[in-house]
Amino acid sequence: MRLRADDHPGAGGGSSSFVRGVCQAVAMIHEATPEFLQITSREELSPDLRRELIECWVAVTNAGGAAGFPFPPVDFDQVAVVADQIIAGLAPQRSRLLLACVDGTLAGWLNVRRDANPLIAHWGTVHHVQTHTGFRGRGIGAALMHRLSRLACDEMGLEQLHLAARGGVGLEGFYGRLGWKEIGRWPGALRLGPGDDRDEILMVLEL
């Protein structure tokens, strides 16, 4: 929401109308409910949505996000190579993208996969969970994870979800509040730089 010029206290609208406008804008921001879109094949992903997905990944990575590229900065072309590999592997029962959009703009996304091996096909893995930097603090990540648990169970027939998170950035707390349980760690498994080793945190969600 944009405030009109006449809502500004210096434009004759008065300070009270300006404050009301700000409050309305803040309320609209926090009340925004994302719309979800599943992508289950490469044909379903438009060129514009592919571009938004990659741009989101670039922005998140370059802001320090733990989303699959541990050594920022990255650029569009670098990320596109990995994104296109994910897109090429999409299939309804093997790999899906879950996208969250607000007012027609991509606000966040993730990838859920399962292995076709019947020994482990009852559980899936979650990858690249991210919220665009322009939509942080609006519950997009939590909304994505809640929707994911439903589609993984109801549509993919999964019984568990697994993920691995980078230590040292509070991700285990975020996932823990959503019902995930930490089941172990690989101590110092991730070396982000000299003297900066992080645990890889293993988590599970029972569906």
**Res 14: pLDDT:** 47
Least confident range from 13-27, 79-93, 113-127, 132-146: namely 13-27
**Res 120: pLDDT:** 98
Residue 165 bridge partners (DSSP): 201
Contact in structure between 137 and 125 (CB atoms under 8 Å): no
Q: How far is CA 195 from CA 34, 126, 188, 191, 201, in A?
A: 40, 28, 10, 8, 19
Q: Is the peptide bond before 73 cis (omega within 30 degrees of 0)?
A: yes
pLDDT-derived band of residue 204, with 50, 70 and 90 as boundaries?
Answer: very high
**Res 32: pLDDT:** 66
Tokens of 60: 């998140």
> Could you tell me which of 80, 91, 85, 2 has the C-alpha nearest to residue 38?
91
CA separation for the pair 75, 61 (Å, rounded)? 10
